Structure 1
Amino acid sequence: MLGGLATRAAAEDFKVTSTSMREGGKLEIAQVFKGFGCDGGDASPHLSWSGAPVGTKSFAVTAYDPDAPTGSGWWHWAIVNIPAATTALSAGISGTDALPKGAVELKNDYGTRGFGGVCPPPGAVHRYIFTVHALSVPALDLPEDASNALAGFMIGGATLATARLTAVYNR
């Protein structure tokens, strides 16, 4: 039982911050998609994390809109196999050679690899959940064309702790 308490305490120390957005704040034009009636920068946000639990062997980052009118939400970003020594991703890093060595970006729900900016239908405010997952494995064994559902299943099975930041956007 004591080991469980120690793990829970370590998970509570796991935090994510960003210079690109704040908890509950509206996303900036830099994170808005370019297309589908939106005209943004389509750039991934800065993310920085600390306090990962002991035993973390890699990280995964996901960005998800649970409010998208699809019946299954909308995956804006999934990046896996981020080395355990990594503690930040700079703004605009998606799709560049600056990604940590070994990190793999999956296709988003726009059908392209890397970050796909926000572009909800006009009207309601949508939530965008950016999650850093501390994983118990050095790498996830995913096929190159893995769906976000498969990646989510594999991430979930290896997650030691998560740190989340939720921002909003509407147009």
Structure 2
Amino acid sequence: ERAVFEGAAARATAATVLRPTLVYGAGRDQTLSRIVDIARRWHRFVLPRDARGLRQPVHVRDLAAAAFAATTVAATHGQAYALPGGETLTYRDMVARVLAVIEPPAKLSEVPSPLFNLLLAAAHAAGYAQGFGEAAVKRMRSDLVFDITPAVRDFGYAPRPFRPTAEMFDALD
């Protein structure tokens, strides 16, 4: 971020850094759209029972609106803003909402962590779940929550609550 602000200052221009949380809505994200792909293929999605970390998924259109709004407010120049979604929910509840909207709806299976780890190892051995490792499993249990207050105060950021639809996970061209 410092390099962005220094680069802007060297060019006598302004910069604002926007830090979105878990982005969805264009079918190109690496989290929810990937979950949808797996659930559509297997008609279920497996989570460890302790996947209770908090999330604030943010719709891509809310990010676009925030980017435009921030450019029109001088107070944002030289600042960095977290851009969470309009609702905080557990990882498990977020996944359950996504699975409920795909056709046909996929079943959420929650298993003990040791069994999940065994299933994940088997998936890796079979060539599935590539790029999904121990760090991703740890993140499911971790709270990834950020303060929306500065963005609301400075440029009126108002993200929608997490109400997914199946179309949100189809890649936009």
Answer 1 or 2: which has greater strand percent.
1
Under TM normalisation by the shorter chain, which class is it? under 0.3
With structure 1 as the length reference, what TM-score do the two structures score? 0.26
Larger proportion of helix = 2
Specify the structure having the higher radius of gyration (Cα). Answer: 2
- TM, length-normalised to structure 2: 0.26
